[in-house]
Structure 1
Amino acid sequence: MGTAREQFAVGGMSCSFCAESIRKAYDRTDGVADADVSLAHEEVRVRYDDDRVSAVELKDALRDLGYTIRDPDKRERFREQQAELEAGKRRLALAGGASVATAALMLWMIVVVGRFESTSLPMDLAVLGLALVTMFGPGRYILEKAINSLRRGIFNQHVLLEAGAFAGLLGGFLGLTVFPHFPTVHFFAVSVFVTTYHVLSEYTSLLVRTRASRAVQDLLELRPDTARRIADDGTAEEVPVDDLEEGDRVRIKPGESVPVDGAVREGESAVDESVATGESVPEEKTPGDEVIGGSVNETGTLLVAVTATGDDAFLNRVASEIEAARATKPGIVRLADRVLRYFVPGVLAIAALSFLFWLVAPAVWSGGPFGTGPDVQRGAFAALAVLVLGYPCALGMATPLALIRGGGAAARRGVLLRSADAFQLLPDVDRVVFDKTGTITVGEPSIAEVASFDDDRTDTDVLATAATAEAFSEHPLVDAVLERADERGLEYDDPDAFDSVTGKGVRATVGGDAVLVGKPDWLASEGVDVSSAVDDLERLRERGLTVSGVARDGDLIGLLGIGDEIKDDAAATVRRLRDAGIAPVMITGDDERTARAVADEVGIDRVLADVLPDEKRTEIRRLQGAGHRVAMVGDGVNDAPALAQADVGIAIGAGTDIAIESADVVLVGERLGGVVDADEIGRESYRKTRQNLLAAFAFNGVGVAAATTGLVHPVFAMIAMVLSVTAVLANSFAGQVLSSEGLNAEFTVRETESADERTNG
Structure 2
Amino acid sequence: MEPTQKQFNVGGMSCSFCAESIEKAYARTDGVEDVDVSLAHEEVLVQYDADRIGEVEVKDTLRDLGYTIRDQEKEKRYELQQAELADGKRRLVFAGSASIVVAALMGWMIFVMGRFESDSLAMDLVALALALGTMFGPGRYIKEKAYQSLRRGILNQHVLLEAGAFAGLLGGFLGLSVFPGFPTVHFFAVSVFITTYHILSEYTSLIVRTRASQAVQSLLNLQPDTTRRITDDGDVEEVSVDVLEVGDRVRIKPGENIPVDGEVVDGMSTVDESVATGESIPEEKSAGDAVIGGSVNETGTLLVEVTATGEDAFLNQVAHEIEEARAMKPGIIQLADRVLRYFVPTVLTIAALAFLFWLVAPPAWGAGPNVQRGAFAALAALILGYPCALGMATPLALIRGGGKAANHGILMRSGDAFQIFPDVDRIVLDKTGTITVSEPAVSEVVGLEGTESEMLATAAGAEAFSEHPLADAILEYADERGVEYTDPEAFNSVTGKGIQATVDGEDVLVGKTGWLADEDIDCSHAADEIERLQQRGLTVSGVVRDGDLVGLIGIGDEIKTDAAATVQRMHDAGITPVMITGDNERTAKAVAKEVGINHVMADVLPDKKREEIGRLQDEGHHVAMVGDGINDAPALTQADIGIAIGAGTDIAIESADIVLMGDRLGGVMDAYEIGRESYRKTRQNLGAAFAFNGIGVAAATTGLVHPVFAMLAMVLSVSAVLANSFAGQLRSGEGVNTDFTIKNDDTGEVVEEGATAD
Above 0.5 in TM-score?
yes
2:397 is the counterpart of 1:383? no
2:215 is the counterpart of 1:215? yes
User: How far does residue 205 in structure 1 lie from its aligned partner after superposition?
Assistant: 0.6
What corresponds to 2:737 in structure 1? none
User: How far does residue 394 in structure 1 lie from its aligned partner after superposition?
Assistant: 1.3
User: How far does residue 145 in structure 1 lie from its aligned partner after superposition?
Assistant: 1.0
What corresponds to 2:484 in structure 1? 491
Change in CA separation of 1:373 and 1:236 when aligned onto 2, cut-off 3 Å: farther
| Percentage of pairs with the same residue | 75
Q: Distance in 2 between matches of 1:274 and 1:90?
A: 45
What corresponds to 1:748 in structure 2? 745
User: How far does residue 750 in structure 1 lie from its aligned partner after superposition?
Assistant: 9.4
Change in CA separation of 1:603 and 1:328 when aligned onto 2, cut-off 3 Å: same
Q: Which of 557, 560, 571 lines up with 2:564 in the alignment?
A: 571
Q: Distance in 1 between matches of 2:606 and 2:455?
A: 39
**Is the CA contact (8 Å cut-off) linking 1:109 and 1:119 kept in structure 2?**
no
- Counterpart of 2:676 in 1: which secondary structure? helix
**Is the CA contact (8 Å cut-off) linking 2:486 and 2:504 kept in structure 1?**
no
Change in CA separation of 1:317 and 1:115 when aligned onto 2, cut-off 3 Å: same
User: How far does residue 279 in structure 1 lie from its aligned partner after superposition?
Assistant: 0.5
User: How far does residue 115 in structure 1 lie from its aligned partner after superposition?
Assistant: 5.3
What corresponds to 2:435 in structure 1? 440
2:282 is the counterpart of 1:275? no
What corresponds to 2:187 in structure 1? 187
What corresponds to 1:374 in structure 2? 369
Q: Which amino acid letter does the alignment assign opposite residue 9 of structure 1?
A: N
Q: Which of 436, 447, 453 lines up with 1:452 in the alignment?
A: 447
Change in CA separation of 1:600 and 1:389 when aligned onto 2, cut-off 3 Å: same
- Counterpart of 2:647 in 1: which secondary structure? coil
User: How far does residue 751 in structure 1 lie from its aligned partner after superposition?
Assistant: 7.6
Change in CA separation of 1:333 and 1:191 when aligned onto 2, cut-off 3 Å: closer
**Is the CA contact (8 Å cut-off) linking 1:409 and 1:740 kept in structure 2?**
no
How many pairs align? 744
Q: Distance in 1 between matches of 2:589 and 2:748?
A: 27
Change in CA separation of 1:242 and 1:130 when aligned onto 2, cut-off 3 Å: farther
User: How far does residue 320 in structure 1 lie from its aligned partner after superposition?
Assistant: 1.9
* Structure 1 residues 355-366: aligned runs within 5 Å: 355-366=355-366
What corresponds to 2:73 in structure 1? 73
What corresponds to 2:301 in structure 1? 301
Query: Which moves more between the two structures, 15-24 or 654-663?
Result: 654-663
Q: Which amino acid letter does the alignment assign opposite residue 608 of structure 1?
A: M
Q: Which amino acid letter does the alignment assign opposite residue 430 of structure 2?
A: D
2:21 is the counterpart of 1:21? yes
Query: Which moves more between the two structures, 618-627 or 727-736?
Result: 727-736
Q: Which of 596, 601, 608 lines up with 1:603 in the alignment?
A: 596
Query: Which moves more between the two structures, 338-347 or 519-528?
Result: 519-528
**Is the CA contact (8 Å cut-off) linking 2:299 and 2:467 kept in structure 1?**
yes
Query: Which moves more between the two structures, 82-91 or 399-408?
Result: 399-408
Change in CA separation of 1:137 and 1:233 when aligned onto 2, cut-off 3 Å: farther
Q: Distance in 2 between matches of 1:542 and 1:740?
A: 50
- Counterpart of 1:669 in 2: which secondary structure? coil
- Counterpart of 1:271 in 2: which secondary structure? strand
2:628 is the counterpart of 1:631? no
Q: Which of 661, 664, 682 lines up with 1:689 in the alignment?
A: 682
What corresponds to 1:143 in structure 2? 143
Change in CA separation of 1:745 and 1:514 when aligned onto 2, cut-off 3 Å: closer
2:708 is the counterpart of 1:715? yes
Q: Distance in 1 between matches of 2:168 and 2:63?
A: 28
User: How far does residue 211 in structure 1 lie from its aligned partner after superposition?
Assistant: 1.0
* Structure 1 residues 612-631: aligned runs within 5 Å: 612-631=605-624
Q: Distance in 2 between matches of 1:434 and 1:162?
A: 47
User: How far does residue 698 in structure 1 lie from its aligned partner after superposition?
Assistant: 1.3
Change in CA separation of 1:127 and 1:747 when aligned onto 2, cut-off 3 Å: farther
Q: Distance in 2 between matches of 1:20 and 1:106?
A: 37
2:590 is the counterpart of 1:593? no
Q: Distance in 2 between matches of 1:750 and 1:348?
A: 59
User: How far does residue 277 in structure 1 lie from its aligned partner after superposition?
Assistant: 0.7
2:238 is the counterpart of 1:242? no
Change in CA separation of 1:204 and 1:470 when aligned onto 2, cut-off 3 Å: same
Change in CA separation of 1:697 and 1:115 when aligned onto 2, cut-off 3 Å: closer
* Structure 1 residues 450-599: aligned runs within 5 Å: 450-455=445-450, 458-599=451-592
Q: Which of 391, 405, 410 lines up with 2:400 in the alignment?
A: 405
Change in CA separation of 1:93 and 1:265 when aligned onto 2, cut-off 3 Å: farther
Query: Which moves more between the two structures, 91-100 or 109-118?
Result: 109-118
Change in CA separation of 1:631 and 1:172 when aligned onto 2, cut-off 3 Å: same
Query: Which moves more between the two structures, 490-499 or 164-173?
Result: 490-499
Deviations 1:28-84 (A, max 9, x none): 122333322221111222334444333332222111111122223334323322222
Deviations 1:587-634 (A, max 9, x none): 101112211211122222222211113311111111221222222222
What corresponds to 2:642 in structure 1? 649
Q: Which of 672, 696, 699 lines up with 2:692 in the alignment?
A: 699
**How large is the RMSD of aligned CA atoms in angstroms?**
2.7
Change in CA separation of 1:698 and 1:536 when aligned onto 2, cut-off 3 Å: same
Q: Distance in 1 between matches of 2:419 and 2:193?
A: 32
Query: Which moves more between the two structures, 696-705 or 230-239?
Result: 230-239
User: How far does residue 737 in structure 1 lie from its aligned partner after superposition?
Assistant: 5.4
Q: Which of 379, 391, 394 lines up with 1:396 in the alignment?
A: 391
**Is the CA contact (8 Å cut-off) linking 2:270 and 2:285 kept in structure 1?**
yes
What corresponds to 1:311 in structure 2? 311
Deviations 1:131-155 (A, max 9, x none): 2222222222111111111111111
Query: Which moves more between the two structures, 301-310 or 677-686?
Result: 677-686
**Is the CA contact (8 Å cut-off) linking 1:268 and 1:285 kept in structure 2?**
yes
**Is the CA contact (8 Å cut-off) linking 1:621 and 1:645 kept in structure 2?**
yes
Q: Distance in 1 between matches of 2:484 and 2:281?
A: 26
- Counterpart of 1:350 in 2: which secondary structure? helix
Q: Distance in 1 between matches of 2:113 and 2:224?
A: 67
**Is the CA contact (8 Å cut-off) linking 1:222 and 1:294 kept in structure 2?**
yes
User: How far does residue 491 in structure 1 lie from its aligned partner after superposition?
Assistant: 3.0
**Is the CA contact (8 Å cut-off) linking 2:16 and 2:334 kept in structure 1?**
no
TM-score by length of 2: 0.92
Deviations 1:162-207 (A, max 9, x none): 2222222222223333334222222222222211111111111111
The unaligned stretches of length 5 or more in structure 1 are 367-371, 755-761
- Counterpart of 1:304 in 2: which secondary structure? strand
Q: Distance in 2 between matches of 1:197 and 1:374?
A: 34
Q: Distance in 1 between matches of 2:408 and 2:141?
A: 42
TM-score by length of 1: 0.91
What corresponds to 1:330 in structure 2? 330
- Counterpart of 1:385 in 2: which secondary structure? helix
Q: Which amino acid letter does the alignment assign opposite residue 745 of structure 2?
A: T
Q: Distance in 2 between matches of 1:238 and 1:344?
A: 63
* Structure 1 residues 151-166: aligned runs within 5 Å: 151-166=151-166
What corresponds to 1:757 in structure 2? none
**Is the CA contact (8 Å cut-off) linking 2:118 and 2:124 kept in structure 1?**
no
- Counterpart of 1:499 in 2: which secondary structure? strand
What corresponds to 1:61 in structure 2? 61
Q: Distance in 2 between matches of 1:388 and 1:654?
A: 48
What corresponds to 1:169 in structure 2? 169
Q: Distance in 2 between matches of 1:700 and 1:112?
A: 30
The unaligned stretches of length 5 or more in structure 2 are 735-740, 752-758
2:658 is the counterpart of 1:665? yes
What corresponds to 1:369 in structure 2? none
Change in CA separation of 1:252 and 1:89 when aligned onto 2, cut-off 3 Å: farther
Change in CA separation of 1:413 and 1:113 when aligned onto 2, cut-off 3 Å: same
Deviations 1:397-427 (A, max 9, x none): 2223234333444444444322312333233
**Is the CA contact (8 Å cut-off) linking 2:408 and 2:742 kept in structure 1?**
no
Q: Distance in 1 between matches of 2:335 and 2:220?
A: 37
What corresponds to 1:5 in structure 2? 5
